[in-house]
Amino acid sequence: MARAEASVVVTGRRLPGLARPLLVLRRWPVIPVAILLILGGVAAFAPLAAPHPPLKANVRERNIPPVWYERGSWNHPLGTDTIGRDLLSRLIYGARISLMVAAIALVSGTVLGTGVGLLTGYVGGLLDEVIMRMVDIWLGLPFVLMALVIAVVLGSSLTTMVVLLALLAWTPFVRNVRAEVLSLSQRDYVSLARVAGASGPRILLRHILPGVINTVIVIATLRSGQLILTEAFLSFLGAGIPPPTPTWGSIIADGRDYLRDAWWISFFPGLAIFLTVMALNFIGDWMRDRFDPRLRQL
């Protein structure tokens, strides 16, 4: 009787009480959300969370290994880089920069791409043809090469990086939102709104936009991981945010010549990028399954 009470019924089968945590992890993205909350928290409160100033160098403490090594120190839990800067502090401040840049670029790209997709899908005709051909041309451009050229011509800066990532982020929204609008604009409630005399902007904002919000949220979640990777890649190449501002990509670049003797300089920012992108991808997949009945598996 005790074992029967400690069980849970799922799809006609009884699972032991120990399976409840596994069931929760399967139904909800607990671990990815926890990772993002921790990263967001330390990024928001970086001055309080970082044990040292991120730019403070001490050559006498250069290349100190992580704390579990014999030469490691709790004063620098993840070690130091080649000029004695605390790696944990630089990772925390790097999270603030990387997440902030990706968030600003994502919001800008979401607003621009959603607006253009709504307009082209609803108006159609020559406007739709011209804009979609522009999107096709934009997708055919080598973005990394173009970003390198722009960074060389205009100079590397936070503003340049945000603009480049926003230009990368908007195209997926145009294609998917346009496809949704083409379908929704043929629904009966939209036709009735036209017959009732509703204006085009009112139909778009009150009747069609709510139907594409779920698609926009899923695309934004899946796209954010790619933006973080792109920012790190450009910073690694030297076309991102200029030093001494710490970013995950630039920290990896700082340690690429010391992988044999000080592997931790590049490893930990790479691990941070991996965990962040994977958490965002898992949340995006979960949201897609929850919002789309055809893909719902939970």
Question: Is residue 237, in this structure, part of any structural domain at all?
Answer: yes
C-beta separation of 39 from 248 below 8 A: no
CATH number of the domain enclosing 157:
1.10.3720.10
Question: Is residue 67, in this structure, part of any structural domain at all?
Answer: yes
What is the per-residue burial (b if ≥16 Cβ within 10 Å, else e) of 251-283? Answer: bbbbbeeeeeebebbbbbbbebbebbbebbbbb
Closest by Cα among 121, 100, 115 to 39: 100
Cis peptide before 244 (omega within 30 of 0): yes
Closest by Cα among 95, 103, 113 to 161: 103
Question: Is residue 123, in this structure, part of any structural domain at all?
Answer: yes
Question: Is residue 57, in this structure, part of any structural domain at all?
Answer: yes
C-beta separation of 120 from 185 below 8 A: no
Cα 213 from Cα 223, distance rounded (Å): 15
Sequence length of the chain is 298
Question: Is residue 24, in this structure, part of any structural domain at all?
Answer: no
What one-character DSSP code corresponds to residue 142? Answer: -
Domain region containing 220: 30-291
The predicted model scores a pTM of 0.79
Domain count of the chain? Answer: 1
Question: Is residue 149, in this structure, part of any structural domain at all?
Answer: yes
Question: Is residue 11, in this structure, part of any structural domain at all?
Answer: no
Question: Is residue 4, in this structure, part of any structural domain at all?
Answer: no
Could you report the average pLDDT of every consecutive run of 10 residues in the chain (298 residues)? 44 52 67 86 86 86 86 86 89 87 86 88 83 86 81 79 83 86 81 78 82 83 83 82 83 86 88 89 79 53
Helical spans, DSSP H, in 238-298: 248-255, 264-291
